[in-house]
């Protein structure tokens, strides 16, 4: 870090916003360590949460905001896709692709609207405090130094950028994907981000939830990070409506994290929900459905019932997966139990079930070499 830059910036115009859901002691411990680190750097800290905050958490920060309106989305059409890519080892020590399964049923809930609400609450208060720069973080990260924050503040104040975003994926309007062409949206992360306060307040106040739901469905924005690119004004879709933002700095999340020693997602919440679904076999001549089950973390004990009778029992651990095939002839019902409890049912006597499967789950076999 250039000491001239460090010495020229006044941290009193900056504030750190941590959005959190501290539902257990592990999350609290990770978050408290993060807060203490920011305070040691000399920053004011706001924490926003949809869960009531303990007194010890409140005392660590400068400002605490509790919002009981936790907007969770359980409609699969609005959840976005998670994708698992399956590979097999080759004789020469490499790997070859087998298939991928993309499902909107791998999410328990989509939390994007809840997160946007917390960010808006935090930046609104930062604006009230006359702060100029806001640095956003998920609660479960850690930074060894504040060099990155100082650099981002310099970029915004002295290089006249509106924000510094960290992308997991760049936008590409024509990208090859397993033998097909598709659009890839920006994936902008809330794990770390720095913004001009007025810019962020304006962007987060711009769209209603109903409008954003329409965008998810109409344009196939497959996860919260993709929708966030549109909310923040950097998507190609913003250009079509004259809401596109210029003067934005982009950094690659993985490259930047490695460079600055950023520890991100220490509490991996997606792993708490098993990835289980049924998808139509892409080979229509087979006239059936592919089954997939996998725990991203830990162990699951599964029981599968076909037409009310026990069909199979199996266990999977830590990214280990199980697949199966069900022919559609005579198929009336598939019921899935996980760890002794009901998990999901596919009722094929309901005319809408087949369409929902087609909309929510996509199995793609790897292109033949």
Cα(187)–Cα(182) distance, rounded to whole angstroms? 15
Note whether 248 and 279 are same-domain residues.
no
Kindly state the average pLDDT of the residues 49-54: 92
CATH of the domain at 324: 2.60.40
pLDDT value at 121 more than 90 = yes
Q: Is residue 92 part of a domain?
A: no
Q: pLDDT at position 53, please?
A: 94
Q: Is residue 40 part of a domain?
A: yes
**The last residue of a domain, from among 234, 260, 286:** 260
User: Rounded to whole angstroms, what are the CA distances from 191 to 83, 129, 264, 339?
Assistant: 20, 23, 7, 32
- Take residue 176 and report the two structure tokens written for it: 């090859």
pLDDT value at 313 more than 70 = yes
Q: Any alpha helices (H) in the chain, and if so which ranges?
A: 3-8, 25-41, 55-60, 112-128, 147-158, 197-204, 209-219, 224-231, 236-240, 253-260, 351-360
**The last residue of a domain, from among 260, 295, 311:** 260
**The last residue of a domain, from among 207, 235, 260:** 260
What residue numbers bound the domain in which 16 lies?
A: 3-72+109-260
Q: pLDDT at position 72, please?
A: 67
Note whether 142 and 211 are same-domain residues.
yes
Kindly state the average pLDDT of the residues 266-276: 73
Q: Looking at per-residue confidence, does 243 or 6 come out higher?
A: 243
Least confidently predicted of 24-28, 218-222, 297-301, 335-339: 218-222
Q: Over the chain, what is the mean pLDDT?
A: 89
Note whether 166 and 311 are same-domain residues.
no
Q: Looking at per-residue confidence, does 69 or 159 come out higher?
A: 159
Kindly state the average pLDDT of the residues 203-218: 90
Note whether 28 and 158 are same-domain residues.
yes
Note whether 245 and 322 are same-domain residues.
no
pLDDT value at 7 more than 70 = no
Q: Is residue 19 part of a domain?
A: yes
Q: Is residue 79 part of a domain?
A: no
Note whether 24 and 160 are same-domain residues.
yes
pLDDT value at 83 more than 60 = yes
pLDDT value at 45 more than 60 = yes
Q: Looking at per-residue confidence, does 221 or 328 come out higher?
A: 328
Kindly state the average pLDDT of the residues 34-60: 95
Q: pLDDT at position 225, please?
A: 80
Note whether 52 and 142 are same-domain residues.
yes
Note whether 289 and 253 are same-domain residues.
no
Q: pLDDT at position 73, please?
A: 64
Kindly state the average pLDDT of the residues 198-211: 96
Note whether 178 and 212 are same-domain residues.
yes
Note whether 333 and 201 are same-domain residues.
no
Q: Is residue 96 part of a domain?
A: no
Q: What proportion of the chain, given as a percentage, has pLDDT over 70?
A: 89
Q: What proportion of the chain, given as a percentage, has pLDDT over 90?
A: 64
* pLDDT tier, 264 (very low <50, low <70, confident <90, very high otherwise): confident
CATH of the domain at 217: 3.90.550
Count of the separate structural domains present in the chain: 2
Q: Looking at per-residue confidence, does 141 or 185 come out higher?
A: 141
Q: pLDDT at position 5, please?
A: 63
Partner residues linked to 303 by β-bridges: 313, 337
The 10 Å CB-count burial string (b at 16+, else e) for 280-302 is bbeeeeeebbbbbbbbbeeebeb
Residue listed under structure tokens 């994907």: 177
Note whether 324 and 245 are same-domain residues.
no
Q: Is residue 194 part of a domain?
A: yes
Q: Is residue 37 part of a domain?
A: yes
């Amino acid at each position: 870090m250039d000491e001239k830059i460090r010495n020229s910036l006044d941290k009193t115009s900056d504030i750190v916003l941590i959005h959190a859901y501290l539902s257990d002691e592990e999350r609290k411990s990770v978050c408290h360590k993060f807060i203490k680190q920011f305070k040691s750097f000399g920053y004011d800290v706001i924490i926003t949460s949809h869960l009531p905050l303990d007194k010890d958490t409140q005392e660590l920060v400068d400002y605490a905001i509790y919002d009981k309106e936790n907007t969770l989305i359980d409609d699969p059409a609005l959840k976005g896709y998670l994708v698992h890519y399956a590979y097999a080892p080759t004789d020469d020590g490499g790997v070859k692709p087998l298939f991928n399964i993309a499902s909107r049923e791998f999410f328990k809930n989509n939390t994007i609207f809840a997160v946007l609400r917390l960010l808006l609450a935090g930046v609104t208060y930062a604006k009230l405090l006359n702060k100029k720069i806001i640095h956003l973080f998920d609660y479960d990260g850690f930074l060894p130094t504040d060099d990155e924050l100082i650099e981002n503040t310099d970029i915004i104040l002295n290089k006249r950028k509106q924000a510094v975003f960290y992308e997991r994926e760049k936008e590409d309007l024509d990208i090859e994907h397993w033998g097909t062409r598709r659009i890839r949206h920006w994936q902008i992360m809330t794990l770390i981000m720095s913004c001009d306060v007025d810019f962020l307040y304006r962007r987060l106040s711009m769209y209603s939830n109903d409008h954003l739901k329409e965008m998810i469905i109409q344009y196939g924005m497959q996860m919260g990070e993709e929708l966030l690119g549109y909310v923040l004004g950097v998507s190609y879709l913003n250009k079509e409506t004259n809401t596109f933002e210029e003067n934005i700095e982009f950094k690659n999340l993985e490259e930047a994290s490695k460079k600055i020693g950023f520890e991100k997602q220490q509490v991996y919440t997606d792993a708490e929900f098993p990835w289980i679904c049924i998808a139509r076999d892409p080979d229509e001549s087979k006239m059936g459905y592919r089954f997939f089950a996998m725990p991203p973390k830990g162990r699951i004990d599964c029981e599968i019932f076909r037409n009310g009778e026990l069909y199979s029992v199996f266990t999977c651990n830590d990214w280990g997966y199980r697949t199966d095939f069900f022919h559609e002839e005579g198929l009336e019902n598939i019921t899935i139990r996980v760890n002794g409890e009901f998990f999901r049912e596919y009722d094929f006597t309901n005319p809408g079930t087949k369409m929902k499967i087609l909309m929510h789950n996509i199995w793609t076999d790897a292109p033949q070499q």
